[in-house]
Structure 1
Amino acid sequence: MSARWYFDFLSPFSYLHWQKVKTLPGAVTPVPIVFGAVLAACGQKGPAEIPGKREFTYRHVLWQARQEGVTLRFPPAHPFNPLAALRLCVAAGSTHQAVDALFDWIWKQGHAGDSLEALAPVAAALGTEAAAAQAESVKAQLRANTEAAVAAGVYGVPTLAFDGGPLDGMLFWGNDAHAFALAALDNPALLADPEMQRVSALPVGVQRR
């Protein structure tokens, strides 16, 4: 199995999903992307931008973390600007070690992740100069990651995308879709049954204007 995993450090659901994704067999490539740019491309607001939904989302992710036995502590403010964390990740090679370190700093320990100054201890632990995150090549790579995600049909984070085989190009969105992804990986015919096929082509009955 090989797969790409699209994520943003802004998302606590990405942090929860990472705990599962990093243990998958085969090659999983973490792909940091700018969630805000994906939302803009899709004409959507993020859950933290909608009053009521914001509070519910925070409580829901805390509940999920406790159910899964994962330590989760919110950073000082949310939403926050994740560009510094995303660029530092790219500068560090987007390795599993870099993804782990940044998620742990922001979502396990509850530190700010909105500036290179705030992330200086993580950069030092990774052996990456914080200034490297400001390189034009790093910024260009993050833009390219995000554009590729949008082109692949990604509309939210986290998203797991399989490469090759019967699930090639299939997208599984969300921490709570992980079991669905594993079931489809184990039995691709799951997605080929008549009702699965019917809903994939279901006509739109009405559209909001």
Structure 2
Amino acid sequence: MKQITCYIDFVSPYAWLAFEQAPRVLEGLSYQLRYKPVLLGALLKQHANPGPAGIPPKREWTYRHVTWLGHAQGCGLQMPARHPFSPLPLLRLALACSDDGHVNRFTADAIFRHVWLGGQDANDPARLSALQELLGEQIRPDSQEQAKALLRANTDEAQARGVFGVPMFEVDGKLFWGLDGLPMMRAYLDGDGWFADGEWDRAASCASGLDG
């Protein structure tokens, strides 16, 4: 059984789309998929990346694209009332349901749906209260400080492993980024010869034209 880690931040629409799509892409394989919340803003800052929301024309395209993808996939996606928003309350709530930095699919699904279905304010206090009630007994008593520590640890681990965005899937030390990285990961898990022939490393060894 393959162990797959999926790094997520609920502020990312592509994380929601990949979360919904992954079980279909991986159908028929023996695997365990674990979800690890991280702070996307810290990953972007590390590489001086403003993210798509920081480039106005790209922001408009991204919102149109992800909304269409939600329609095309059949999972739905409506932009929340404001975006980007601070994901910290949602990340900490998710990790309040954890004792090891991972969250189960029910928890992740509830929070993704809270953000990406309905077009409402993700951080509206009344809605956050309702979400907390939905998660109910999964939330561990006196977990607030532990949740903060887990988020810091998860984000530090992601940075150390080379995670630069979300969603990012890690299997056998290999990183597959984004919704459109899912077919590539499936090919790897199916034993595609491209990986065995060393193309994975050769492709990344191309000299940078930005140097010097």
Give the alignment's TM-score, normalised by structure 1.
Answer: 0.88
Q: Which moved more, 1:6-15 or 1:42-51?
A: 42-51
Structure 1 match to 2:133: 124
Q: Which moved more, 1:126-135 or 1:18-27?
A: 126-135
- State the Cα distance separating 1:115 from its structure 2 match: 5.7
What's the C-alpha RMSD, in Å, of the aligned pairs?
A: 2.3
- State the Cα distance separating 1:28 from its structure 2 match: 0.9
Counterpart check, 1:70 vs 2:71:
no
Residue of 177, 181, 185 corresponding to 1:177? 181
Runs (5+) with no aligned partner, structure 2: none
Task: Report runs of 4+ in structure 1 exceeding 6 Å deviation.
Answer: 129-134
Counterpart check, 1:19 vs 2:20:
yes
**Deviations, residues 135-190 of structure 1 (Å, cap 9, x unaligned):** 2111010010000001111001000001xxxxx11000001111111011112532
Structure 2 match to 1:59: 64
Partners of 1:198 and 1:135 in 2: CA distance: 45
User: Among the aligned pairs, what percent are the same residue?
Assistant: 37
Is 2:97–2:139's contact at 8 Å kept on the other side of the alignment?
no
Partners of 1:117 and 1:108 in 2: CA distance: 16
- State the Cα distance separating 1:117 from its structure 2 match: 4.6
| 1:27 counterpart SS class | strand
Partners of 1:57 and 1:117 in 2: CA distance: 28
Q: Which moved more, 1:108-117 or 1:15-24?
A: 108-117
Partners of 1:13 and 1:161 in 2: CA distance: 16
- State the Cα distance separating 1:104 from its structure 2 match: 0.8
The residue type equivalent to 1:64 in the other structure is L
The residue type equivalent to 1:34 in the other structure is L
Runs (5+) with no aligned partner, structure 1: 163-167
Residue of 145, 151, 160 corresponding to 2:169? 160
Asked which structure has the greater RCO (Cα within 8 Å, sep 6+), the reply is 2
The residue type equivalent to 1:57 in the other structure is T
Q: Give aligned pairs, total.
A: 203
Partners of 2:154 and 2:11 in 1: CA distance: 16
The residue type equivalent to 2:136 in the other structure is G
